[in-house]
Chain A
C-alpha cells in the first residue's frame, strides 16, 4: 500500500510547488514501522491479549475436536469446522474473534498519537527527517502488521492442532478459504485500528480515546441491532401487513445493519467458511426452486459472495485512515 500511495502522490509536487515540499512524504516510514512494531510486540498489554487469544484458540479447537470425534459422517471441509463449530460452553472461534479483534486493535492504537504528546516526544520525533505522513502511516502499518502477525500465528496454531488432532492434511480449498478468512479478519481489525487512531488524534487524553473507541465497539456490538430494527421500522413501516412491505422492511434492516463492521465481518466469514452458504439476503421460495440445497459453492463463487463485505472492510479501513490522516495533518502539534 505504501508503494501505491507513493505512486499516486507523484503529481503532488507539480500541483503545489509553491509550498516548497521536497522529497517523498514517506521518508523514514520503515524506521517508524520497525520501531513501533518492536514497541507493540514487547508491550505488556499486547502480551496479555495474545495469551487471551491463544487460550480461546486452544479452547475452541479442543471443543471442536471433541465434537468431530463423535461425528462419523463425511465432511469435505472439516478444517473449516475448526473455525466455525460451537460447542457448549465454548462459542465458535469466529465468534470469539469478532469481539476480541476489535479489543486488540483498539488497545494497540488508542494512544498512538496522543501518547506521543503526553510523553512530549512528538516534537522530538518530527525534528528528525520524518514527515507527519510517514509517522502516522508508520504507526498504522505497524499496528496492522502486529495484528497480522498475531492472527497468522493463531491461524497456523489452529491448522497445526487440526492436523495433529484430525490426522489428515487440509486440502487446497480449505487452505485458500481459511487464508481469505484470515485476510478478512486482519482488515476487520484494521477498521478498529484506524478508528482508534482517529480517536487518538482527536482526543488529547489517551484514556478518553480508549473509552471512545470502546464505546463505539460496544455500540456496534450490542446496540446496533436495536438501532437497526428501530430505523427499519421508521424508514419502511409495515402499514397494511402486505408481504411486500414486510420484505422491504427486512431488506432495509439488513442494509442498515451492514453499516456495522461486525455485520460485515460475520457475513464475510460465514460466506467463506461455510461453502454451502449461497446468499446473505432474504430468499424467496421461488428463488430456491430447483436448487440443490447444501451443495458447496465453488471457491470463486464463495469469494464473489463475500466480496462486497471484504471490500467494504478494506475500504472502511482505508477511509478511516484517510480521516485520521487529514485530522492529524491539520492539527497543531507544537505543544
Chain B
C-alpha cells in the first residue's frame, strides 16, 4: 500500500515536470495506467492503523490490485494469541481472491480480538501471494480501554432550611462522566415523613437518559407529610445506571414553628346558659406545632352586658404537643331574651396565627314566670272553690 502511494507520488512529480499545468487536474490517474507497465500486485487499506475498544470486533476493508488477471492467495502473519481473524468476501469466509487486472478486488478482514486481550498495540500482517509476486500489508491495532463509565451527582447547596410545611428544594447536577449513553434511575433514601421527588424541566422524573459526557440539572424536592419536629433530616439521593452509581447526601434542616388550636374537649361548639346565671365551658388550647408558643392569651368576645372570665387567660409558654384546658365562665345579660347567641373565643400567641371559635350559646330564661302562671291558674281554681264553698249545693 505504502508502495502504491510512493509510486503514485513519484508519478505525480514526473508528470508535473513533463506536462503543462493545464492538464494536471484530469491527467493524474489515467495516464498512470497507460503510461506504466502492468502494476505490481498490491493489497492495501485506507486506514492501516486503527484504535479499537476492548472486546470490540471490527471489519477492515481491504483492496487487492494487480496489473494482470490472477488468483491471489491470502494469508496472515503475526496473529496475536487467541485472536480470531479471517477474510470475508461475498458473505463467506474466503482464502483467495481473483483480481481481473483492471479493477480492484474488495474484501473485508474480520478481526475478533481475544476476550482476554488487554490494552496495548497489536501488529499483524496480511500477505497476498499472487503469481510470482506478493504484497504485504502490516496492520496496527491499538486496543484501548475506553473512558470508564461513571456518573456524578453534585450540588452547591447541600443544606436547606425551612419551616415544617415548606418544601425543601435542592438543585443537583447529574453528570455522565463516561463515554457511553446511560439511562440513570434516581432514588432517594429519606426519613419516612418526607416525600422526595425529582424533576427535570419542571416535570417529575424517575429516570434520566444521559448521553456520554452530558450533564443535567435536576431539582430535588422534599416535602414533609405532616408537621415534623425541628431538626436536621438527612436525605440521600442515589443515581444508578447499570452497575455504576452515585449518591449525594442532602440535609433538610427543619426549623420549629409554633401553632395554636382552640377547641372544646368534645369538639362541641354549643352550650346552654340561663339568663343572668353563670355557665361554665371548657376550652382546650393546644400547640400542635414544633416550637413552643410564647405569650398565649385567650380572650372572649360576647354581646354587651354579658360577663366573661377565662382561667387561665394567659399562658407564658405552651410547649409543642402540650394542651391546656381553659375554663370559660359566661354570664349572659339578665335581660337577654332566650335564644341563640354567638360568643367568640380567640387564642393568640407571639409568633403563631390566632385561632378563633364561635360558640353558640342557647340562652334559656328562668322558669320562674312559668310558676307564676301556674299560681295564677291555682288562684282561679281557688276562687271557684271558694265560690262553691260559699254558694254550693243549692
Q: Interface residues, chain A, CB within 8 Å of chain B?
A: 1, 4-5, 8-9, 11-12, 15-16, 21-23, 25, 131-133, 278-279, 283, 286-287, 289-292, 295, 297-298, 300-301, 304-305, 307-308, 310-312, 314-315, 318-319, 321-322, 325-326, 329-330
- Neighbouring A residues of B373 by C-beta, 8 Å: 307-308, 310-312
With A295-B339, A315-B376: A8-B394 Cβ-Cβ less than 8 Å: no
Q: Which residue of B lies closest to A21 (CB)?
A: B393
Would you call A12 and B380 a contact (CB within 8 A)? no
Would you call B387 and A329 a contact (CB within 8 A)? yes
Q: Which residue of B lies closest to A131 (CB)?
A: B393
- Bound: A133/B394 CA distance, A: 8
Would you call B384 and A304 a contact (CB within 8 A)? no
Would you call B341 and A292 a contact (CB within 8 A)? yes
- Residues facing A in B344-394 (CB within 8 A) are 360, 362, 364-365, 367, 369-370, 372-374, 376-377, 379-385, 387-394
Tell me if B269 counts as interface (CB < 8 A to partner A): no
Would you call A312 and B339 a contact (CB within 8 A)? no
- Bound: A11/B382 CA distance, A: 13
- Bound: A305/B363 CA distance, A: 13
* Residue in A15, A287, A307, A326 whose CB lies within 8 Å of B369: A307
Q: Which residue of A lies closest to B394 (CB)?
A: A132
Would you call B370 and A304 a contact (CB within 8 A)? yes
Tell me if B202 counts as interface (CB < 8 A to partner A): no
- Neighbouring A residues of B341 by C-beta, 8 Å: 290-292
Would you call B335 and A329 a contact (CB within 8 A)? no
Tell me if B302 counts as interface (CB < 8 A to partner A): yes
Would you call B364 and A301 a contact (CB within 8 A)? yes
CB distance from B166 to the nearest CB of A (A): 39
Interface residue total, chain B, C-beta cutoff 8 A: 42
- Neighbouring B residues of A11 by C-beta, 8 Å: 389
With A132-B394, A311-B373: A301-B388 Cβ-Cβ less than 8 Å: no
Would you call A8 and B376 a contact (CB within 8 A)? no
CB distance from A191 to the nearest CB of B (A): 12
**Hey, what's the 0/1 contact readout for B56-93 against A, CB within 8 Å counting as 1?**
00000000000000000000000000000000000000
- Bound: A311/B333 CA distance, A: 26
- Neighbouring A residues of B379 by C-beta, 8 Å: 315
Would you call B303 and A131 a contact (CB within 8 A)? no
- Neighbouring B residues of A287 by C-beta, 8 Å: 333, 335-337
Could you say which of B303, B374, B381, B394 has the most chain A C-beta atoms within 10 Å of its C-beta?
A: B394
Would you call A318 and B383 a contact (CB within 8 A)? yes
- Neighbouring B residues of A318 by C-beta, 8 Å: 377, 380-381, 383-384
- Bound: A287/B360 CA distance, A: 16
CB distance from A83 to the nearest CB of B (A): 22
Would you call A9 and B388 a contact (CB within 8 A)? yes
What are 16 A-B pairs at a CB distance below 8 A? A5-B381, A8-B388, A21-B392, A25-B393, A133-B388, A291-B342, A292-B339, A292-B341, A295-B339, A298-B362, A301-B364, A308-B373, A318-B380, A326-B390, A329-B387, A329-B391
- Neighbouring B residues of A286 by C-beta, 8 Å: 304-305
- Residues facing A in B270-295 (CB within 8 A) are none
Tell me if B340 counts as interface (CB < 8 A to partner A): yes
- Bound: A287/B364 CA distance, A: 14
- Bound: A290/B304 CA distance, A: 8
With A9-B385, A9-B388: A322-B394 Cβ-Cβ less than 8 Å: no
- Bound: A194/B372 CA distance, A: 23
Would you call B387 and A325 a contact (CB within 8 A)? yes
Would you call B384 and A5 a contact (CB within 8 A)? yes
Would you call B394 and A329 a contact (CB within 8 A)? yes
CB distance from B380 to the nearest CB of A (A): 4
Tell me if B343 counts as interface (CB < 8 A to partner A): yes
Would you call A131 and B381 a contact (CB within 8 A)? no
Q: Which residue of A lies closest to B378 (CB)?
A: A315
- Neighbouring B residues of A9 by C-beta, 8 Å: 385, 388-389, 392
Q: A21-B392, A22-B393, A322-B383 are known; give 16 further A-B pairs, CB within 8 A.
A: A4-B381, A8-B381, A9-B385, A15-B389, A25-B388, A25-B393, A279-B338, A292-B340, A301-B365, A307-B370, A308-B373, A310-B373, A312-B376, A314-B377, A318-B384, A329-B387
- Bound: A279/B388 CA distance, A: 38
With A132-B394, A286-B304, A308-B373: A8-B338 Cβ-Cβ less than 8 Å: no
Could you say which of B341, B379, B389 has the most chain A C-beta atoms within 10 Å of its C-beta?
A: B389
